[in-house]
Chain A
Amino acid sequence: MLFLVLAVITLSLQGYAQTSLSGTITGANGEPIPGATVIVEGTTNGTVTNFDGKFSLDVKEGDVLLFSFVGMKSQKIAYTGQTNVDVELEADMIGLEEVVAVGYGTMKKSDLTGSAVKADLESFREAPNTSIMQSLQGSVPGVQIGQVNRAGQDPSINVRGETTINGSKSPLVVLDGVIYRGRITDINPADIESVDILKDASSKAVYGAQAANGVILITTKGGKKSMKPTISYSGYYSVSEPTKNYRLLNRDEWLDAIKTIEYKDAYTEASGYTQPNPDWDYSMSQALPAVIEAIESGKEYDWWDSATQNAYTQNHVLNISGGGEKTSYFVSGGFTQQQALIINDDYSRANLRVNLDMDITSWLTIGTNTFLSFADYSGSVPSIGNIRRMAPVVTPQDGEGNWVINPIGDNTVNPLLNAQALDSDKRHQINLNNYAKINIPWVKGLTYRLNYNYTLNARNQANFNEFGAGITGYARKETANSYTTLLDNIINYSRSFGDHDINATLVYGFNETEWEGTVADGDGYTNIALGFNSLEQATNQYISSGAWKEKNLYQMGRIAYDYKNRYLMTATLRRDGFSGFASNNKFGLFPSVGAGWVVSEEEFLGETLEYLKLRASYGVTGNQTSRYSSLAKVVSGDSQKYVFGDGGVTVNGQSVSSMANNDLTWETTYETNFGADFTFFNSKLRGSVDYYNSTTKDLLWNVVIPNMTGFSSVRTNLGELKNQGIEINLNTTPVKTSDFSWNLNVNFAHNKNKVVSLLGEDNDGDGMEDDLVASGLFIGETLGSIYGYEVEGIWQIGDEIMDGYFPGAYKLKDQAGPDGSEPDGTITAADDRVILGHDNPLFTMGVMNKLDYKNFSLKFFFNIIEGGKNGYMGYNSRPTGTPGTMASQNWFNSYDLWSPLNPDATYAIGWESPAINTNILQSRSFIRLQDISLSYTLTEELIDKIGLGSAKVYVSGKNMFTITNWDGWDPETGQGINSDAYPVMRSYTIGLDISF
């Protein structure tokens, strides 16, 4: 393969060395167009423009130059000896000639009848994102990407609200045309050309039973035919710090906290516990003796400092692209290294990608999009919870430098010991994606394409902790591999007959994934020298293994018809079979239909409308059940084993662990979408609006059943859920002069979901369908309803306190007595829980500003999630424990804790638990300056002097500030004051892109 690449490069390097022509390619508005293609017609001699739209190319008299760019009308200019040529390309219709991936093919955006969006990746190229999905965070209406706080983490993705309760919530990812089940973080963001998101059912239905949560189509970069080789390097270095500067209490603050815990003794009762008790000292506290000893010795130690490190990310990518007359190539190698805040939370990834496309004959093209990814997550990360638990007076090592096993003197093991463990966690992916395309010679417009994908995901983990398993030493090795095979046969017929354009696609394919994993571990090591490489040294040895296999089989047909570029129609039908479907329901059918009307093309409107297209679509999609979920399982686990007699042999136990459901089927979503795409005011305002309304039936659901059956739940299809929402995307250019321009993009999405029906039963006889309180589901309310006890405040000393509560405990509202009668003075689950709010946003919004002045470009992006009156709520929990453990522990200085001296505190005490223990709800709404960057593109003169093709330097910032009322680490991740998890980071980046 590599040989082939080199050969191609060598070939295309030959055959130019004449006079040099340079110039600039701009759009109609004068904006330079980077990435536009310039080639000498009929040759392999070509180039692409740099960031300034500039190019230079060696030409000879008589050459005809072809200038082209996606979405623009191509131009031809004959070379007549001039040294400079500036070209202005005319917009074909801005953005509308854009080609969009639609699944098993591409379509011009102008031909779409459904709702598919191309993500604006360029605007986020300067952010230190290790996963491409982070570039979509807040920037695509209707797509919600979760915040990440770990090194090399895949963010969560949600498209158009939640359509499921217990089913899968992940969208389907399609990489270069084939379904991709690996980690998105394995794909180098720099290799990605475009990301398209299919949002409405008519677009998604081509993926049938797997499409209900949306489809994300990722396309990697390719070379261009007849283009001279371009070698590019881009790199950045980024440093990070937590977005909140919370720290653990220092010695003095912490000593005060102990007095608060022991306030009944440490303060005098006569003073209402506000005056210190002179007879009290720390040796009388409930703190553990080791802690008391440490208090007396006057020590202070900063555990947070010892458990954190300088966080940084660096990234280097080198790629070569170009093409000969019949071949194009893109070869890239990348290296990413990330070190997160907590020690050993490290990630590195090396990537190699080869994308090739070769015309073998006039009718046969073969190609590959192959990549290898080597990710390394090695490093044993100490538990933040245990770091927090260490009192600030105890130390990790004693005076002689020996590790202290239990610093606070209870069973909490020194968290830094875990960090000493040898740890290896390597995750490799080999993804071979090959295709062959045949233009059927005897039928014009008919092609056959074969996609064949084989993916190997291998995970190898090993850990050796000499302090593990009660300091006897613990070692573990795990290997897990998955093998995926996919084969798609795609027949496409695309042809114009006068005003009639037809594009028909037929797909027949299958997909098979097999997984197997083995874990071997052991404890009790007398000689630690061999670490995890000789597990058999363990006194106690354990093994376990597992395997599964799942298969999909599918057929799909799609026909798109276009009359005069004015009337558009698309219809699809997919038939899906999945091994995980129950025996009575092996196949499902998923139809869809869409129509579009380009109003502005109507002659009777004349020139009044610049561009307006109306779209309407309807379709059916599914959400698969998980494999084996319809079967009754018999498990035989370790906890079921028994040994009869002293020194006897182990007898395996077995029992049935789940109930079978032979009728289990996929969830079905029926969705209607209305949309409009428009361009007004001389292309100054461009955008689209979509409204959708979907109903999901046969929800996959682990319905709670009484455990007298022997089971606590069973997976079933039940009920009905509605989602409706609106998505708006607007692009404007408010200011534009020759040196300065301001581009503004605003996207907005609102989604509302509602439980329409559950079991369809009315057992309480009130004429209305019953809620499923045990599952937290209520008819007419949103899926994210939060049902619980209303906190009215905190009980104070001197209050007449309800039984089971005490000063410093949350005061719960007595909503009612039995069966809704008047409040009865007691708090019970039956009578006093109410719907307090929900956790869905009212709207999400992204605002991107782009300011260009000469060679400088400033971009800043706000991500906004707003919950409204009682939406986007989250519980803010507090540290809890016994008085003894709490007095021996620490907590973050974010905790505004109740005490007799601080009666107006926000949070209740955590060392006594009331009859009913709950937390307080807070709004997570926020506005975040998520990305900001300033870049400078080197002037042409400078570039020429250095001898480069183009160069850009930039600085950028991520998560710069957040405006929110949420108390604690981060509203988006929902981490509150009691975060025992990883903080969200703010980063500062400096980067460089060059090509030659």
Chain B
Amino acid sequence: MKKFIKYIAYSILSAGMLVSTSCNEDEFLKEVPMDFYSPENSYVTYDNFKSALADLYARVRYIHFRYTETETYVHMLGTDVAKNARHEDNRRLGNYGNYFVPENGLFSYHWEQWYKIIANANTVLSRMESSEMTPTQKAVVEAEAKFFRGFAYRFLGYLYGGVPLVLEEVTSPRADFVRASQDEVFDQVIADFKDAADALPGITEVKDGQVSNLVASYYLAEMYITKGQYGDAITEVSKVINDPSTSLMTERFGTRKNEPGDVYWDLFRRDNQNRSAGNTEALWVAQMEIDVPGGFLSTTGGYDNGLERMCAPAIWSCTTPDGKGDGFIRMRTGYNQGGRGVSFMANTDWFINDIWGDDFDNDMRNSQYNFQRTGVYDNPDSPWYGKPVNDPENPSANWKNQKWRWYPFPIKVTTPYNHPETIYADPELGTLKSNAGSTFRDMYYLRLAEAYLLRAEAYHLNGDNGKAADDINIVRNRVNSTPVESPEVDIDYILDERARELVYEEQRRLTLVRTGKLIERVRKYNELNGDDIEDHHKLFPIPYSVIEANKDAEITQNPGYSGS
């Protein structure tokens, strides 16, 4: 027995020593990641790089359509077409003076988002050489990465002016960045877009949502205009227009073509944006799917792509003229309520009333299907049923002082009678759950109508107003508007036409900054911001946090801002 115990004791002792000492220390302590990848093992195959590119698509979609009230919609708020609906000084760009300060997180947000896209594109470009990809694969990957890098610098250059040019992956800390000139930034954009336009596949060869050589040509043309190279611009954008696979949609099409409406309305209905849906006008479309990983849209939470929430009026919150809260069956799909809006962003009075001019009644884009100009109580149990909230005799009690609760709005922000099934609170009534608010469809980054208007701009600047008018009229003819006479064509006319055609689609601020018209047109057309915008607001301030973190070199502030 005693011997047995001794034996056990020796075993324990020797086992303990053995376990502790016999293994190689470095091997034992080697750190192996278990639930994440490392750069060394995940930028190797073609699939790896396709993943890295998918990340860029997701990030560009995120910065355009993620739901935030100011960060995402800053390119529409405070412009000539849209404003803070509630006229609040300190929210949603209600006042330029209060918002446009270097400390505002709005500016570091855009800076950081775009530079992350640049950094990720640089990682792809820097790690491509040592990968296993074939030369053909490399060429496509390189073109796509360069497109996104150029796209990011395009935003940064227009918004902030000259910014630091970073063209390679940064693998160790540095804080010595200096601003390049705006011209140098634009040269880089042209270089990247050129390479992209040369090597990207044609529009029929890419999947829906992927960039093609036409997309690169379009942005290259736009940058040529900015650089004053109008002839080059016309050549590039003509490639887009003349491509046999692209054409404006002129006939009813798509999922709801048999319902009352018109072709402009069809362009913005669910499942009608992609080329696979027969839409030959679409050049580049942000892809959204509902309740699918990577699909961006959800019926169970969040309001990403929340144009409906931002722009549709909160008419459901209007009390009746006698102060009762029961005038509406709340938050309904359709034209009257426009879905689940909360009145954050409204069109300017100029846009709502004046921009249509003599074509108010015949311009399809202002038709009853495309621009909602009435709002009525919709609860049959209310004595006010069917009466307008803005009845001059009997206005809604709270609307009287709070005009933001209802205003006319473009129907393209919503999907009337066609919200996803799972977002209805009561499908019979068409009421929506409180987490509705997304615009449940794919979104255009670019469609052919814009290419015509861009070429018109190039022709006009190149002194050829006749051809400019021809291009504009292609767009106007499609919507039954009176053709423009060539002497009437100037930059302002083109900007007006862009507003009519592309409201809430184009990043309006970029267009205005690019054409040098932001300050002038906001003063002229924006009743809220006209008084508070100042000349230096044509550029964003450089974020103070960036200046502060870049401790080894100076990043100068833009003129007019504190610290400049």
- A residues sitting closer than 8 Å to B (CB atoms) are 265, 281, 283-286, 288-290, 292-293, 296, 360-361, 363-364, 405-406, 409-413, 436, 438, 448, 450, 452, 468-472, 474, 487, 489, 508-510, 523-524, 539-540, 542, 545-551, 553, 577-581, 586-587, 627-628, 631-636, 638-648, 650-656, 659-660, 703-712, 714, 716, 759, 761, 763, 770, 773-774, 803-804, 806, 818, 826, 828-831, 882-883, 912-916
Contact = CB atoms under 8 A, between A and B. Distances in A.
B12 A436 contact: yes
B562 A828 contact: yes
Nearest to B95: A804
Contact of B293 (A438, A553, A638): A638
Given A645-B276, A705-B549, A470 B423 contact: yes
A376 B291 CA distance: 33
A436 B171 CA distance: 51
Contacts of A288: 317
Given A411-B434, A469-B301, A916-B103, A539 B28 contact: no
B91 A489 contact: no
B300 A469 contact: yes
Given A472-B422, A654-B37, A553 B289 contact: no
Contacts of B245: none
Given A654-B42, A912-B88, A660 B291 contact: no
A289 B318 contact: yes
B300 A638 contact: no
Interface string B42-62: 110000101110111111011
Among A474, A653, A654, A711, chain B packs the most CB atoms within 10 A around the CB of A654
Given A283-B397, A524-B422, A648-B208, A706 B16 contact: no
Interface stretch (B173-181, B450-458, B461-469, B510-518): B173-181
Contact of A450 (B13, B35, B36, B97): B13
Contacts of A579: 29-31
Contacts of B293: 542, 638, 641, 650
B527 interface: no
Nearest to B10: A438
10 contacts: A293-B324, A413-B434, A469-B300, A644-B207, A653-B56, A710-B119, A773-B548, A804-B98, A828-B102, A914-B90
B39 A632 contact: yes
B559 interface: no
B28 A553 contact: yes
Contacts of A551: 28-29
A656 B40 CA distance: 11
B39 A634 contact: yes
Contact of A830 (B56, B97, B544): B544
B164 interface: yes
A712 B112 contact: yes
B136 to A, nearest CB: 20
Given A281-B323, A553-B25, A714-B173, A829 B102 contact: yes
A707 B291 contact: no
B55 A654 contact: yes
Nearest to A405: B434
Contacts of A714: 173
B444 to A, nearest CB: 14
Interface stretch (B71-79, B365-373, B398-406, B490-498): B398-406
Contacts of A705: 173-175, 549
Among A550, A643, A712, chain B packs the most CB atoms within 10 A around the CB of A643
Contact of B38 (A489, A580, A633, A646): A633
Nearest to B62: A639
B429 interface: no
Contacts of B9: 363-364, 436, 438
B552 A763 contact: yes
Contact of A283 (B42, B316, B398): B398
Contacts of B188: none
A107 to B, nearest CB: 24
Contact of B550 (A285, A643, A706): A706
A801 B251 CA distance: 58
Contact of B16 (A489, A546, A656, A770): A489
Given A586-B29, A645-B276, A706-B175, A915 B5 contact: no
Contact of A293 (B19, B325, B342): B325
Contacts of A509: 20
Interface of B: 2, 5, 9, 12-13, 16-17, 19-21, 25-26, 28-39, 42-43, 48, 50-52, 54-59, 61-62, 86, 88-91, 95, 97-98, 101-103, 108, 111-112, 115-116, 118-120, 122-123, 164, 166, 169-175, 177, 207-210, 271, 274, 276-277, 287, 289, 291-295, 299-301, 316-319, 323-326, 328, 330, 342, 397-398, 400-402, 422-423, 425, 433-437, 442, 544-546, 548-552, 562-563
Given A361-B5, A641-B54, A644-B287, A577 B39 contact: no
A365 to B, nearest CB: 10
Nearest to B207: A644
B207 A648 contact: yes
Given A448-B13, A712-B112, A774-B549, A643 B289 contact: yes
B210 A644 contact: yes
Main secondary structure of the interface of B (DSSP, over half): loop
Contacts of B19: 487, 510
A472 B551 CA distance: 50
Given A450-B12, A634-B42, A763 B173 contact: no
Nearest to A641: B294
A362 to B, nearest CB: 10
Contacts of B88: 882-883, 912
Given A660-B171, A774-B549, 17 more contacts: A289-B318, A292-B325, A438-B13, A452-B16, A632-B38, A635-B37, A641-B54, A642-B61, A642-B209, A645-B209, A653-B51, A653-B58, A708-B115, A709-B166, A763-B551, A803-B97, A883-B88
A645 B174 contact: no
B241 to A, nearest CB: 24
B319 A912 contact: no
Contact of A296 (B54, B62, B323): B323
Nearest to B323: A283
Contacts of A708: 115, 118-119, 164, 166, 170, 177, 546, 550
B549 A577 contact: no
A653 B55 contact: yes
Given A283-B323, A551-B28, A289 B317 contact: yes
Contacts of A916: 103
A828 B98 CA distance: 12
B300 A472 contact: yes
B31 A655 contact: no
Given A640-B55, A654-B55, A710-B122, A580 B31 contact: yes
A709 B167 CA distance: 10
B324 A296 contact: yes
Contacts of B43: 634
Given A470-B435, A639-B58, A915-B90, A634 B175 contact: no
Q: Which 4 A-B pairs have the closest CB atoms?
A: A710-B119, A641-B294, A283-B323, A293-B325
A627 B274 contact: no
Among A654, A706, A716, chain B packs the most CB atoms within 10 A around the CB of A706
A520 to B, nearest CB: 14
Nearest to B66: A639
A712 to B, nearest CB: 7
Contacts of B39: 632, 634, 656
B63 to A, nearest CB: 12
B51 A654 contact: yes
A584 to B, nearest CB: 12
Nearest to A470: B435
B469 to A, nearest CB: 37
Nearest to B156: A708
Given A364-B5, A645-B274, A284 B115 contact: no
A409 B434 CA distance: 8
A549 B34 contact: yes
